[in-house]
Amino acid sequence: MITLRLGSRDPEVRYLQRLLNMTTPNPRLTEDARFGPLTHAALTRFQQGYAGGLGRLRNIGICDSTTWAALGLKTEIQWPVQRIGQNTAMSCWVVAGGLASGRLSSSLPGAAQFDPTPGAGFGGLLAGNANVAAYAASLGMRLLPVLPPSIQGIEAHLRRGPAILIGSWIAGGAHAVVISGYYAASTAYGTMIRINNSLPAGVGSVELAGFPQLKLQNQDMDAVYLIVR
């Protein structure tokens, strides 16, 4: 796992804040992926008070591999997926499909159907199990018939490669993202997935979230379809 210190803005800072909230909940940290003074103070308190089997923690105020283990990190899966932003309002499926499959192409994949009506939804992947399954097959992937019942159910699939998650925005509409990483401690709350999101347009983002409800920087999204290798 990446080493974090005061000033870090990496998405993994949010996971550090999550684990610190599980071990030293007072005062509770805002999980905002910003390693500021409050996160630094909470980490320092944890390291100085640690009395587990890893012995005395060094590098006080810096979260290194030993501190990650002391905080309870047990499983770490990471795939080298690029950060790419979509270039149109409805091209998230192009970015997600290309990144997850390694087939970076803008051609319409296989027998999947897309919205042909000009307007807000123009060019979007049409919903429905059969159509999403056709989209998955065109990428050399497969649609799971049902979502995993918990976030831990993603681990086995992610060990074979990145996955595509298609969800519904709380405010309406659909969006596709790539699951490129998985970090797990001892509980479901201590488990998060790393998301490569093609929003903001032209820029993209990488962030950590829960499952099946994802709190992303744009807005909240509920998982609907999961496409895996």
**Is residue 66 domain-shared with residue 81, that is, in the same domain?**
no
pLDDT for residue 90 is more than 90? no
* 144 domain-assigned: yes
Quick one: 102 and 67 in the same domain? Answer: no
User: In terms of domains, do 93 and 109 share one?
Assistant: yes
| Element spanning 178, H or E | strand 174-184
pLDDT score of 121 more than 60: no
**Does a structural domain hold residue 4?**
no
Same domain, 155 and 112: yes
Q: Is 132 found in the same domain as 68?
A: no
For 149, other C-beta atoms within 10 Å of its C-beta total 8
Regarding whether 98 and 114 lie in a shared domain, the answer is yes
Sign of the alpha-carbon dihedral angle for 127, 128, 134, 140:
positive
Together in a domain, 139 and 67: no
Cis peptide before 116 (omega within 30 of 0): no
User: Taking 90 as the threshold, does the pLDDT of residue 208 lie above it?
Assistant: yes
Tokens 């820029």 belong to: 203
**Is 3 inside any structural domain?**
no
The answer on 111 and 192 residing in a single domain is yes
183 domain residue, yes or no: yes
3-state secondary structure of 142: strand
Mean pLDDT value across the chain: 89
**127 and 166 belong to one structural domain:** yes
Last residue of a domain, one of 73, 98, 123: 73
User: Where does the pLDDT of residue 105 fall: very low under 50, low under 70, confident under 90, or very high at 90 and above?
Assistant: low
Same domain, 67 and 146: no
Q: What is the CATH number of the domain that holds 205?
A: 3.90.70.10
Q: Say if 7 falls within a structural domain.
A: no
Distance CA 21, CA 8 (A): 18
CA distances from 196 to 80, 175, 177, 211, 220 (A): 10, 12, 6, 14, 15
Q: How far apart (Å, rounded) are the C-alpha atoms in residues 68 and 53?
A: 13
Percent of the chain with pLDDT over 90: 67
The pLDDT score that the predictor gives to residue 71 is 94
In a domain, 1, yes or no: no
Comparing 9-13, 22-26, 48-52, 147-151, the range with the smallest average pLDDT is 22-26
* Domain that includes residue 62, residue range: 12-73
Reference 92, options 147, 174, 154, 33; nearest CA is 174
Report the pLDDT value the prediction gives residue 118, as an integer from 0 to 100. 53
Indicate the number of domains in the chain: 2
**Domain end residue (candidates: 47, 73, 99):** 73
Same domain, 104 and 44: no
Contact 206, 85 (CB under 8 A): no
Confidence of residue 209 (pLDDT cuts 50, 70, 90): very high
Q: What DSSP designation does 223 have?
A: E
Bridge partners, 166 (sequence order): 176, 225
The tokens describing 166, both together, are: 């298609």
Domain boundary among 58, 73, 88: 73
Q: Which two tokens stand for residue 145?
A: 């018939």
- 56-87: per-residue pLDDT in tens? 898 899 999 999 999 999 999 999 999 999 88
Is the CA virtual torsion 178, 182, 186, 190 positive or negative?
negative
pLDDT at 109: 59
**Is 5 inside any structural domain?**
no
Residue 148 lies in a domain: yes
* 220-to-110, 122, 167, 173, 223 alpha-carbon distances in Å: 30, 22, 10, 11, 10
**Proportion of the chain above pLDDT 70, given as a percent:** 93
Q: Is 207 in the same domain as 133?
A: yes
Long-range CB contacts for residues 123-126, cutoff 8 Å, separation at least 24: 123/88, 123/90, 123/91, 124/90, 124/93, 124/174, 125/93, 125/166, 125/174, 125/176
Q: Is the pLDDT of residue 194 over 90?
A: yes
Residue 115 pLDDT level (bands cut at 50, 70, 90): confident
